[in-house]
Structures are given as C-alpha cells and as structure tokens.
Amino acid sequence: MCRNIKMLHNFEPPATDEEVHLSSLQFVRKLSGCTRPSKANQAAFDRAVDKVTRAARELIESLVTDAPPRDREVEALKARARSAERFRAGPAT
C-alpha cells in the first residue's frame, strides 16, 4: 500500500493539497490495515486522514533546504528507468 507515498518536499511547483491528502490516505490505510473502513470506523478513519494531512502539510512547509527544487518530470523519468531496470532483471534466484 505505501509504495504510492511519494516524496513531496522540494519540488517545483510545490506539492498540491491533493498530493498531500492522497499520501496521508495511503499512510492511514497502511496503519489501519484496511483500504475501506467499516461504517463504524469511517469517522475515526476520516479524522485520522485529516490530521495526518494537516501534519504533513505543516512538515513540508517547515522543511528548509539549500538544494535546488526537483523537477517532477525528471523525477518521473528516473522512477520509470528504475522500474524498467528492476523488471528487466527478472526474478532473483
């Protein structure tokens, strides 16, 4: 589940609210062990996602770096290359 959580700090343009929310949702799903909470747990699940989203946004906005901002397209190309290399290598023996 957590493989969809991506680094969101130091990008140009900055991470959107939707990206932060989706990462928070994945985090709460991993912690809770469910992708769809029961009706009895829905309110607690939603509260947790909201709180994690706020904390994540606060963290991202508070971090300081001297590194130049990363380009989303360049990072996506690197990720595709890593994936292609991993799957081209085949199963480990």
Query: Is residue 3 scored above 70 in pLDDT?
Result: no
- pLDDT confidence tier of residue 90, bands split at 50, 70 and 90: low
* DSSP codes joined into one string, 28-92: HHHHHT-SS--HHHHHHHHHHHHHHHHHHHHHHHH----SPPEEHHHHHHHHHHHHHHHHHS---
Q: What is the pLDDT averaged over residues 13-32? A: 94
pTM of this structure: 0.78
Amino acid 62: pLDDT: 96
- pLDDT tens-digit readout, 5-18: 788 999 988 999 99
Among residues 53, 2, 59, 60, the alpha carbon closest in space to that of 27 is found at: 2
CB 14, CB 62: distance < 8 Å: no
Among residues 59, 65, 51, the alpha carbon closest in space to that of 12 is found at: 65
